[in-house]
Amino acid sequence: MSDRQIRTILLVDSSASIIFYLAMLLRRLEYKVMTARSAEEALRIMETETPSLVLTEVSLPQMSGMQLLKTIKDSARLKAIPVVILTMDKDPGMKNACALLGSAGFLNKPVEPDVPYRSLQSVTESTPRANIRISASLKVIVGDSSEIGDAVRTEYATAISEGGVYIKTLYPHPRDALTRLRIFIHGQQINARAVVLYSFSKGDGRFQEPGMGMKFVELSDGDRALIRSFIKEQLTGDLGTPA
């Protein structure tokens, strides 16, 4: 689904249910995840492993998340590691205090999937994505018979986001080509117009999968909301609500 380097997140939280929920979510967002139940355990892990980012709760047994942040930023070896704070505390003073200590971001619990995704992408990627993209297998009708020369084919989308779709096809359109799409999610039809950003012939691309990556240029708010709901369902539908 992605050619980008897999980033490693060190997740620090004393709650087993939060650890399970966020670790599963982050792995589904294509991150490698290490976990720790305390700041002390996190520091022991970092003696031998260097994560791309630390995501830590403020309230931890013994050493707090803020103390962990300060320890990391005071260490010549660790200070370059971005630290994002996770907390139930909505006090603006807490956010400001963490920023002064050098935090790279601040997330309030409970978190929707797109919130940590955008925050972590902005910290770990030089060209961060704005939208979550997931693997899928969705029927797509490509083309519109009302437009002369626009052949209509039934294909399948193997990845989708609110911003676009990757369609597996033996007949990819050339770059910059515009076409209409009808995408089917749970029996509901999404109507979109999309432009080809890149295409692969057979034997090219990741997994030698022929197809085309497309960006939506016309998509109604209702259809965008349907895609968003589908993505959230795929990411968290079987995880329940963490206690």
- Give the DSSP per-residue string, 158-186: EEE-SSEEEEE-SSPPPTT-EEEEEEEET
Nearest to 191 by CA among 174, 175, 179, 177: 179
Q: What is the pLDDT of residues 81-128, one digit of tens each?
A: 999 998 887 788 888 999 999 999 888 887 777 777 777 887 877 676
CA 132 to chain centre: 4
Which band of pLDDT confidence, cut at 50, 70 and 90, is reported for residue 2?
A: very low
Residues whose CB falls within 8 Å of the CB of residue 38, separated by 6 or more in sequence, listed in order: 12, 14, 60, 61, 62, 63
Contact 209, 168 (CB under 8 A): yes
43-49 average pLDDT score: 96
Average pLDDT, the chain: 88
Residue with tokens 């103390």: 67
Q: Looking at the whole model, is its pTM more than 0.85? A: no
- The 3-state DSSP composition of the chain as helix, strand, coil percent (nearest 5) reads 30, 30, 40
| Structural tokens at position 216 | 């939506």
Quickly name the fold that domain 134-235 has: Thrombin, subunit H (2.40.10)
Which band of pLDDT confidence, cut at 50, 70 and 90, is reported for residue 131?
A: confident
Instruction: Classify domain 8-124 by CATH number.
Output: 3.40.50.2300
Which band of pLDDT confidence, cut at 50, 70 and 90, is reported for residue 51?
A: very high
Q: Where in the chain is the domain with CATH 2.40.10.220?
A: 134-235
Please check the confidence at residue 148 and state whether its pLDDT lies above 60. no
Q: What is the pLDDT of residues 171-226, one digit of tens each?
A: 899 999 999 999 999 999 999 999 999 998 876 655 567 899 999 999 999 999 99
Give pLDDT, residue 122: 78
| 110: preceding bond cis by omega (within 30 degrees) | yes
Question: How big is the CA angle at 162 (ends 106 and 203), to the nearest 5 degrees?
Answer: 115
Give pLDDT, residue 124: 76
Contact 16, 242 (CB under 8 A): no
Q: Where in the chain is the domain with CATH 3.40.50.2300?
A: 8-124
